[in-house]
Chain A
């Protein structure tokens, strides 16, 4: 395992240096990594002056992967669009994009693929609440308004607004979406309180002992208590091994001919900047 990692780092270093000499965007990417030799940076800057219209790395992704793409590649020359998982995979297969990033499994990818992070949601309550665990069936019943209480408690539902990725992921994972003429509509009861940010969900729940909320799994802090789902606590190991079920791996995919940009992106996700970005959007890094 350790040996693999050393090989991978060595490989990406070689690839990274190789990339510098030919291409500004790759060079610029590597500036963000911690181990770029100073001399190479100079070359990169010189090239940047010569050619500002350097082609970007084209990255296409699913809606759930969009916050990840945006945060991670901030300030870097990536061309990013959310087109949906199928269309992103197709774009790589038809060489319209170099990289695809989507929520799903490695089985769905063709060519090079690797899990780069995990997206997921967790239900939260006030630390004073007696509630510790919740089942999928309880969540479905309560959030659709079919049942009026959870374990005898009548709670206020607090949800991120419909446009937020955490809300979309929550509706998809449990699932709380119905299909009407091919368009998926939310099944969540109108009785739920909707707030504009994930942070506001935490604040509402922190201030109300009778509230239950939904946030990104990586956003949990000491102001609130994360509920176990079907008896499983959401933590790094249960998310990575899949025993905590309200989560989805984020998979990076590329054709073998694009292994350089593929490995540069992988390294980016593993760098300090990458890990900070992943945590900032409430995702969970691979380790």
Chain B
């Protein structure tokens, strides 16, 4: 069964490459440049009957688009935050947000890679495209075309990612101004629904009511770490112990193997997405004990735990550093692997919020957060977990 499939695939690839050779100008080596960066890929763009075809995967990673492939229909669906483009292999028909359009050259599979028309894809999502005949260079400009103002509010967990992205994009676009403010997920969701920001940030999933007006786009993954003072000898707690500590049922460190000292519970404020996630995933939807001290940001709760010898708190792994100690839960700590595999008990996604379908520069900002550049150079570097 497997062998015959493999054979079939080889025959298919050979057939496709022979048929393509007729139209492909093999002598030309085409360079692909996206936002002034030369894209290195094992698959080079090709010109077929005067149309430049580029590898779909490479382009979408760089542009922050999501791709899904329907094997039965041979259809590739490319989604940016504002546009949905559907190409069909071998067909000159394609759609942009449902509107039918026609190509001069159909997308095709070359050596196992889906190749799509450069100009049609770029223009469909609102990117500018140029082709330089002399240097054989195809250039797409997307994250370098941003102008105007963007106001972003909400989750302090997501704030460092949004701020770093804003700083980078403002360097790349001199007429762009982005302001990023905290306030917590609750405020971010409210502002987005009310239209008082351009983009919101949330570190918790939206409720059914909220999804009626607000759309959430996943831009990073995260683990909520239980943190204690570095001098605390407790290294591990069971999920049940964590629950009882934050509910105020376990009150002394000696009950969980530590020294005889009262546990000082630190928490986030009521609107916090991090608090909502802890209550949802660990506390069976009950509320953190009322005597706990609330802090209004990820940075403040970390500082409090760093300062107080008997404190316990919780924070995004993006904020955790050597000033606090992470306690494992049932011997598991939050890392990229334990969160991605779903093994760590407090893994979650982080979302950028839009009121309906975003447009213009806000849509491009949201796409940037999902791009390979942002995931590699901001999300992972800031200590969060990538979506790729």
Contacts and interface: CB of A to CB of B under 8 A. Distances in A.
Interface of A: 62-63, 66, 69-70, 79-87, 162, 168, 172, 181-186
Nearest to A181: B218
B333 A83 contact: yes
A81 B342 contact: no
Interface in B327-352: 328, 331-333, 335-343, 347, 349
Interface residues of B, number: 23
B336 A86 contact: yes
Interface in B177-194: none
Nearest to A86: B337
A63 B338 contact: yes
Contact of B338 (A80, A83, A162, A172): A83
A258 to B, nearest CB: 21
A184 B333 contact: no
Contacts, number: 67
Nearest to B236: A81
B387 A81 contact: no
A80 to B, nearest CB: 6
A184 B342 contact: yes
A81 B336 CA distance: 15
B340 A182 contact: yes
**4 A-B pairs closest in CB distance:** A84-B337, A182-B387, A181-B218, A63-B343
A82 B331 contact: yes
B385 interface: yes
Contacts of B343: 63, 82, 84, 168
B221 interface: yes
A185 B386 contact: no
B37 to A, nearest CB: 23
A85 B340 contact: no
Contacts of B341: 63, 84, 168, 172, 184
- Mostly, the B contact residues are mixed
A85 B385 CA distance: 16
Contacts of A185: 342
A183 B235 contact: no
11 contacts: A62-B337, A66-B331, A66-B332, A79-B235, A81-B333, A83-B335, A83-B338, A84-B335, A182-B221, A182-B385, A183-B339
Given A82-B338, A183-B340, 14 more contacts: A63-B337, A63-B343, A66-B332, A81-B236, A81-B328, A81-B331, A83-B332, A83-B337, A84-B341, A85-B337, A86-B336, A182-B386, A183-B349, A184-B341
Interface in B345-388: 347, 349, 385-388
B80 to A, nearest CB: 15
A184 B328 CA distance: 21
Given A63-B338, A183-B221, A183-B349, A82 B333 contact: yes
A80 B388 CA distance: 29
Nearest to A186: B342
A87 B326 CA distance: 15
Nearest to A82: B332
B329 to A, nearest CB: 10
A84 B336 contact: yes
Nearest to B345: A163
Nearest to A61: B331
Contact of B221 (A63, A66, A181): A181
Contacts of A182: 218, 221, 340, 385-388
Contacts of A80: 331
**Residue picked from A70, A81, A85, A186, most chain B C-beta under 10 Å:** A81
Contacts of A87: 335-337
B311 to A, nearest CB: 21
Contact of A184 (B335, B340, B385, B386): B340
Contacts of A162: 342
Contacts of A62: 337
Contacts of B388: 182
Nearest to B342: A184
A186 B342 CA distance: 9
B284 to A, nearest CB: 15
A79 B218 CA distance: 35
A63 B342 CA distance: 10
